[in-house]
């Protein structure tokens, strides 16, 4: 399946891109993270500490063990600092 | 039925005008509470603050937070306005306003909106000082604040 993967804030800066399309068969967010980590050093570094990251599937906050069934857009970002 | 307005915009807003317009003419409104967040410069070295957000999810998350407030309290109107882009010290970042029949519900719901907006709406702040730029880290106390609701 094709997924739009988005990165925000320092994660976007470390990976060096804001959005990319990924061809993957990952069944969960965690499996997708493992695929990204295996790609290149900059991904491995950016995803080294998942406790410092949050994930949204199709614009809803989810956990890293969430399934990617029917997902179109997955976004990774640091904890939010609004207000 | 609560009237909910969510605005995510780059341009500055007129806080006084927004307050004056909010809940105007609502016969069931007896209390309005407003809050405005401003770019603070604790050390006197802040040059600018850049606010990044996730277009689409931001509006969706803010709507959900406002709807949750409307479920918990009897509110006639809710406004959440949040800016993004580059801001300078002293500039207004965001505001919330709540309207209810009585003050207790208006105060409590405004407090709730702020707690949730801080750690559940996809905004990130990057501060630039003379020494360089860095992302503002989320505070454990902001996450802990959600437990009281």
Averaged confidence pLDDT in chain B: 96
- How far is the C-alpha of B58 from the C-alpha of B60, rounded, in Å? 5
Confidence of residue B25 (pLDDT cuts 50, 70, 90): confident
pLDDT (0 to 100) of residue B95: 98
Q: ipTM for the complex?
A: 0.95
Question: B135 has which bridge partners?
Answer: B126
Q: Who contacts B21 (Cβ-Cβ below 8 Å, separation ≥6)?
A: none
The closest alpha carbon to A8, from B121, B122, B63, belongs to B122
Q: What is the pLDDT along chain A (83 residues), one digit of tens a residue?
A: 999 999 999 999 999 999 999 999 999 999 999 999 999 999 999 999 999 999 999 999 999 999 999 999 999 999 999 98
Domains of chain A: 2-77 (3.10.20.30)
Residue B100 and residue B102: Cα distance in Å, rounded? 5
Nearest chain A alpha carbon to B95: A83
A3 touches A32 (CB < 8 A):
yes
The pLDDT value given to residue B143 = 86
Instruction: Please indicate whether, in this complex, the C-beta atoms of B135 and A83 are within 8 angstroms of each other.
Output: no
- Count of C-beta atoms within a 10 Å radius of residue A2: 8
Q: Token pair for residue B7?
A: 């605005």
Please name which of B57, B74, B107 lies closest in space to residue A8, comparing C-alpha atoms. Answer: B57
- Domain annotation for chain B: domains and CATH numbers: 3-131 (3.90.1170.40)
Q: What's residue B46's pLDDT?
A: 96
User: Are B138 and A81 a contacting pair at CB < 8 A?
Assistant: yes
Q: Give the C-alpha separation, B84 to A46, whole Å.
A: 24
B37–chain A nearest CA distance, Å: 6
């Amino acid at each position: 399946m094709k997924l739009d993967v988005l990165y925000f804030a320092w994660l976007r800066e470390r990976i060096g891109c804001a959005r990319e399309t990924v061809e993957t068969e990952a069944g969960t967010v965690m499996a997708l993270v493992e695929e990204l980590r295996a790609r290149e050093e900059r991904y491995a570094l950016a995803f080294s500490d998942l406790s410092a990251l949050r994930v949204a599937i199709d614009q809803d906050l989810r956990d890293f063990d969430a399934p990617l069934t029917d997902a179109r857009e997955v976004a990774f970002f640091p904890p939010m600092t609004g207000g | 039925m609560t009237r909910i307005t969510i605005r995510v915009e780059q341009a500055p807003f007129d806080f006084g005008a927004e307050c004056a317009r909010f809940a105007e003419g609502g016969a069931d409104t007896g209390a309005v509470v407003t809050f405005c967040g401003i770019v603070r410069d604790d050390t006197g070295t802040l040059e600018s603050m850049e606010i990044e957000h996730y277009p689409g999810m931001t509006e969706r998350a803010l709507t959900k937070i406002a709807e949750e407030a409307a479920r918990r309290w009897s509110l006639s109107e809710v406004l959440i306005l949040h800016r993004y882009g580059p801001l300078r010290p002293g500039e207004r970042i965001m505001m919330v306003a709540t309207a209810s029949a009585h003050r207790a519900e208006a105060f409590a719901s405004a407090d709730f909106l702020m707690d949730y907006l801080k750690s559940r709406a996809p905004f990130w702040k990057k501060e630039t000082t003379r020494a360089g730029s860095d992302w503002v880290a989320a505070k454990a106390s902001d996450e802990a604040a959600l437990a009281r609701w």
